[in-house]
Structure 1
Amino acid sequence: MIVTILLEVVLPVFVLIGCGSLMQRIFRLDLYTLSKINFYFITPAAVFMSMYHSDMSGTLLGTVVLFYGLYVFILWLIGTIVARSMKFPSSMRAAFNNSIMLDNSGNYGMPINALVFKGDPLAGSMQALIMSLQSLLTFTYGVIAIQGAKLKGNYRSMVIGFLKMPVPYALVLGIFLHVLHVPLPVFISQPLTYAQQSLVAVALLTLGAQIVKYPLRLYRLDIYISLFIRLIIGPVIGCGLVFALGLKGIPAQALLIASGMPSGVNTSILAEEYANEPDFAAQTVLLSTLFNVVTITGLISLAKMF
């Protein structure tokens, strides 16, 4: 089973990431444009179509929100305790908590979900909801934590930044039209379907191009502590919550796999934007993505038992 998962799910993901990294080395891709295409069109289209075609009941939707809320709260508690025990300064505490709480549920988690569940609408809609909640967390807690640490944040810009995010609007609109059974005309549904189908390739190529710009350093203990919490403790928490909430089948599998994503690229973007431990943030993104080859393979194998 592990060999099959490695060859059919994990290896295709990292082949695309590797191609993105190689293309960035050779052609110096325009990351700004790639990110904008992903962020403002492909990802919102995938979220909208996932929720529009969702088989998720209102009860399950509430359960996913509860799961995610408990999941990030427990991670925050662990991160706070570890940061205080290691006597991190306030700037490092913010960067450390962001590295373990803000994961790559979008341009990494969505493709993994699509490959594992073969495009299953229920699994896809659950991952889309997790990604939307992650975006909400990133541009609320993630920004506030850094601004509080730097003591010079403009909270008005944080609110404006959140309101500009297209993913929450796509999520709400997709659910709304799904509940009302509103048919989509072909000239709208077909372009959105094309965009959704391009998500895996474009998102992973972009991720590969993004992470290659980070220099690799292997000497910082705080980075490995972050990796351990993000890649090992995170799935343990996810597994415990799946049992506690009585989830089974695809919902349990999708949430368990979602709990094992590497640190998100937004962690590094926020760190660079606010000049708050950018080197630490970049290293956690790069190394957690590399180590995830091993951890996500094991986690998918475990999820298949539910």
Structure 2
Amino acid sequence: MSIFIHILLTNVLPMGVMIALGVMIHRAFSLDIKTLSKMNFYLFSPAIMFDLLYNTAISISLIGKIMFFLVLFMVAQYIIVEVVIRIRGYSPGMKSAMRNSVLFYNSANYGIPLNQLAFAGNEKTLAIQVIIMMMQSLVPNTYGIYNVNAHKADMRAIRRTILSMPVIYVIPLALLLRNFHIDIPQSLSTPIDYLSNAFIGTALITLGVQLGSMEWKIKRSLLIDVSLSGMLRLLVGPLLAWLIVWMMGIEKLTAAALIVSSAVPTSLSSVLLAVEFDNEAEFASQSVFVSTLLSIITVTAVIFFLQLDV
């Protein structure tokens, strides 16, 4: 129990403090969440991606393994969610909302700070988390749009969305510069460092602001569905990840990073899609809130068990 409490206090609680500060500052000053999100998405997130991939030795074979893991993980999650959906007999709108609440998880605002704390700033595990963040940025803006409301999805709009994502330019650029040993001028490397270092604090504050803008109560009519979503995301997710890394024979440190990454709560992307397409927005927002709250315990438990087995 003392190890569990130690992990809670050193790996998870620091994030909770930063998130709470975000909640409080939003309640006091009503911050503009769209501005914070854009700064994270277009400045801080690309900077940390570039910085990590340029400065961290990560092989193409490892990237391939991570991508293969993500495909298997997403497919396995999808199958399990579909079983739950059929048993519950959801309406079409609720089906897509439940899928998004489980398949899309907070790999950026929550996942990267967690990775830094859980693995003591290890550059390799952080680079792995960045690749996961890349995919979790791409999937909601492609599959997620179709899932929520396929008949309204505009292919041109989706293409524009994809082409506007900094990640599709930053990652190949960083890998090319690294592979060809091209030095970055200090006039550029210094601003990149500043932006990269700002990511974690800003990401957690942003998550707090997002939670602070939500309604902090669960309707009885949604209690079972929100609970199912949280269980599939926080408990089934890491169990599936453990099974897949075991089947793939992935080495221990990489496996641990992938399992921890799978244990994070539901992404705000599910809420944004629900609001944009007027599709079960209340369920989506409550799933994000509840999964984030419960993750304090579940994420601590995942790290605790990994300390014993990995």
- TM over 0.5, shorter chain: yes
Pairing of 1:6-155 with structure 2 (within 5 A): 6-148=8-150, 151-155=151-155
Displacement, 1:303?
A: 2.3
**Gap change, CA 1:119 and 1:168, over 3 Å in 2:** farther
Displacement, 1:27?
A: 0.7
Pairing of 1:151-190 with structure 2 (within 5 A): 151-190=151-190
Correspondence 1:298 to 2:301: yes
Displacement, 1:131?
A: 0.4
2:272 alignment partner in structure 1 = 269
2:244 alignment partner in structure 1 = 241
Moved more, 161-170 or 19-28: 161-170
Count of residues in correspondence between the two structures: 304
Q: Contact (CA 8 Å) 1:230, 1:263: kept in 2 or not? A: yes
**1:92-147 deviation digits (Å, cap 9, x = unpaired):** 11111010000000111011111222221111110000000111111111111112
> Percent of aligned pairs with the same residue?
34
Kindly report structure 1 stretches of 4+ aligned residues shifted beyond 3 Å: none
Moved more, 237-246 or 176-185: 176-185
What is the CA–CA distance in structure 2 between the aligned matches of 1:208 and 1:281, rounded to whole Å?
Answer: 17
Correspondence 1:253 to 2:264: no
What is the CA–CA distance in structure 2 between the aligned matches of 1:135 and 1:47, rounded to whole Å?
Answer: 12
Displacement, 1:153?
A: 2.5
What residue identity is the alignment partner of 1:283? Q
**1:44-63 deviation digits (Å, cap 9, x = unpaired):** 10111111122221111110
What is the CA–CA distance in structure 1 between the aligned matches of 2:168 and 2:56, rounded to whole Å?
Answer: 16
Displacement, 1:302?
A: 2.0
Moved more, 200-209 or 78-87: 78-87
- What's the secondary structure of 1:183's corresponding residue? coil
Moved more, 51-60 or 252-261: 51-60
**Alignment gaps of 5+ in structure 1:** none
**1:189-219 deviation digits (Å, cap 9, x = unpaired):** 1111111111111100010001111112332
What is the CA–CA distance in structure 1 between the aligned matches of 2:226 and 2:246, rounded to whole Å?
Answer: 30
**1:32-91 deviation digits (Å, cap 9, x = unpaired):** 211111010001101111111222211111100000110011111111121122111111
What residue identity is the alignment partner of 1:215? E
Q: Contact (CA 8 Å) 1:111, 1:199: kept in 2 or not? A: no
What is the CA–CA distance in structure 2 between the aligned matches of 1:178 and 1:93, rounded to whole Å?
Answer: 43
Displacement, 1:261?
A: 0.9
- What's the secondary structure of 1:289's corresponding residue? helix
What residue identity is the alignment partner of 1:262? P
Pairing of 1:205-244 with structure 2 (within 5 A): 205-218=205-218, 219=220, 220=222, 221-244=224-247
What residue identity is the alignment partner of 1:143? I
What is the CA–CA distance in structure 2 between the aligned matches of 1:7 and 1:181, rounded to whole Å?
Answer: 41
Q: Contact (CA 8 Å) 1:13, 1:204: kept in 2 or not? A: yes
What residue identity is the alignment partner of 1:252? A
What is the CA–CA distance in structure 1 between the aligned matches of 2:179 and 2:304, rounded to whole Å?
Answer: 34
**Alignment gaps of 5+ in structure 2:** none
What is the CA–CA distance in structure 2 between the aligned matches of 1:236 and 1:90, rounded to whole Å?
Answer: 28
What is the CA–CA distance in structure 1 between the aligned matches of 2:181 and 2:6, rounded to whole Å?
Answer: 38
What is the CA–CA distance in structure 2 between the aligned matches of 1:102 and 1:178, rounded to whole Å?
Answer: 30
- What's the secondary structure of 1:103's corresponding residue? coil
What is the CA–CA distance in structure 2 between the aligned matches of 1:5 and 1:194, rounded to whole Å?
Answer: 29
- What's the secondary structure of 1:43's corresponding residue? helix
Alignment RMSD: 1.2
